[in-house]
């Protein structure tokens, strides 16, 4: 099978995608600077410690391991942080990605799977959101991802780099086999924060309970990280089989409210979730739900682990393991 470089492969989504690639028979070269990822999340393959902006090192790595495709997860991903540190986000997410692409072009690597985000859409005008929805990001993080999506067609025309961008909605859960899981530092994602709250951590902050939704809390589309990893493998296969470049939503098409997540966590753990309701956060839409018909039709992808209860159960098993290794990067 082919050799795939996974930039950011020691992070949350990157480590799960790396495992999915290995399970599919590929050789995996993890390239990560370990600023947010963890060496313990490297369960096999080759590891190169480095920054994606180091073009010479990326080129040597591509050449030495005869890499045929790149999956790119090495991004900063905190929306609030991106607003106060736009320079850092443009430097890593845009300049870094362009450096990675430059190295690919120099070494004649022509397949690229890009970790994008639903944040490229901004405030939703209609629901569920298709890929044709207007792209007007409302934060720096979304802007940096959209900048790369807009650059990729130019790289294909000029250099022959074919690319699939996957627009994630709410990645969540943990490897069903218990090999990997989620732990960002600091943790910002809803489900691990709720699990921390039931195990003696601070109460779960709920930002607004007065939205125009059935229970007043925000509604989001939660996608199991295993299903997300599978989407990346299918995107790679699509490129290998001659499929056209493009962008795909990756979600379930089902919205679950913050309150429903709280209730599900309580049901799975058998413990009440301490909460603290506060005001809305600026820029938080009441609902974000994906239309994923295109990826299901073209890439034959179907979410098979993304029932909310299954997501929480897998995250709870991981949380109870006591290991907090697969942190950080991507999406």
273: helix, strand or coil: coil
Quick one: tokens of 280? Answer: 């809305």
Determine the Cα angle at 242 with ends 237 and 244, to 5°.
Answer: 95
Nearest C-alpha neighbor of 316 from the set 179, 171, 183, 173: 173
**Residue 136 gets which letter from DSSP?**
B
DSSP β-bridge partners for residue 70: 5, 112
Tell me the catalytic residues: 141
Distances (CA, A) of 120 to 1, 104, 153: 33, 25, 16
262, 220 Cβ separation under 8 angstroms: no
| Order of all β-strands in the sheet with 27-32 | 46-49, 27-32, 3-7, 67-72, 111-117, 162-168, 246-250
Can you state the percent helix, strand and coil of the chain, rounding each to 5? 40, 20, 40
What backbone phi and psi angles, to 5 degrees, belong to 123? -70, 125
All residues at 6 or more sequence positions from 205 whose CB lies less than 8 Å from its CB, including other chains? 193, 275, 276, 278
Please tell me the distance from the alpha carbon of residue 28 to that of residue 71, in angstroms, as a whole number.
10
């Amino acid at each position: 099978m082919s050799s795939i470089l996974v930039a950011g492969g020691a992070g949350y989504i990157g480590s799960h995608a790396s495992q999915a690639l290995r399970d599919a028979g590929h050789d995996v070269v993890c390239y990560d600077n370990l600023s947010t990822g963890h060496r313990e999340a490297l369960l096999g393959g080759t590891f190169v410690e480095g920054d994606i902006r180091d073009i010479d090192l990326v080129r040597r790595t591509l050449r030495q391991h005869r890499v045929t495709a790149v999956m790119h997860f090495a991004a900063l991903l905190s929306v609030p942080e991106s607003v106060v540190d736009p320079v850092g986000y443009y430097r890593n997410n845009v300049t870094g990605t362009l450096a990675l692409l430059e190295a690919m072009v120099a070494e004649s690597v022509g397949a690229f799977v890009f970790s994008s985000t639903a944040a490229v859409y901004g405030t939703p005008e209609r629901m569920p959101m298709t890929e044709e929805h207007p792209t007007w990001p409302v934060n720096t993080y979304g802007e940096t991802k959209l900048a790369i999506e807009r650059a990729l067609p130019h790289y294909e025309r000029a250099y022959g780099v074919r690319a699939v961008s996957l627009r994630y909605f709410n990645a969540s859960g943990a490897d069903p086999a218990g090999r990997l899981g989620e732990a960002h530092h600091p943790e910002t994602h809803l489900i691990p924060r709720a699990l921390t709250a039931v195990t003696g951590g601070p109460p779960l902050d709920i930002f607004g309970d007065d939205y125009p939704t059935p229970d007043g809390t925000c509604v989001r589309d939660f996608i199991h990280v295993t299903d997300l990893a599978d989407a990346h493998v299918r995107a790679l296969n699509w490129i290998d089989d001659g499929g056209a470049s493009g962008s795909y939503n990756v979600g379930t098409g089902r919205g679950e409210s913050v309150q429903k997540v709280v209730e599900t966590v309580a049901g799975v753990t058998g413990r009440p979730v301490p909460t603290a309701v506060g005001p809305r956060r600026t820029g938080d839409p009441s609902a974000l739900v994906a239309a994923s018909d295109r990826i299901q039709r073209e890439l034959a992808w179907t979410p098979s682990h993304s029932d909310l209860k299954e997501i929480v159960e897998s995250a709870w098993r991981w949380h109870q393991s006591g290991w907090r290794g697969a942190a950080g990067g991507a999406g």
